[in-house]
Amino acid sequence: ENAEIIIAWGYAKQRLRDADNFLARSKPLIDGLTRAGVIVDDNADRVTVDIAGFYKAQQNETIIGVKEQ
């Protein structure tokens, strides 16, 4: 099964953030989806990752969406 993973981060404090840091922070999230059985494998030929961006939130939060392809 192929999957698309969409990740968005919400922050209470608005400030500039480095996009490359979010790519690095995505790895444990994706590995967790694999270990939990949500996705079969996280190889690049089976999974695409979309960093949806950042938004203002009441508290810091991360939203992860998974779509089967």
pLDDT on residue 53? 84
Tens-digit pLDDT string for the chain (69 aa): 899 999 999 999 888 877 777 788 889 999 999 999 999 999 999 999 998 888 899 999 999 999 998
Exposure string of 43-69, with b = 16+ CB inside 10 Å and e = fewer, is eeeebebeeeeeeebeeeeeeeeeeee
Would strands 3-11 and 47-56 be described as parallel, antiparallel, or unpaired? parallel
pLDDT on residue 57? 94
Would strands 61-68 and 3-11 be described as parallel, antiparallel, or unpaired? antiparallel
Is the distance from CB of 57 to CB of 9 less than 8 angstroms?
no
Two tokens, residue 7: 């990740």
pLDDT on residue 15? 83
pLDDT on residue 38? 95
Q: Supply the pTM of this predicted model.
A: 0.83
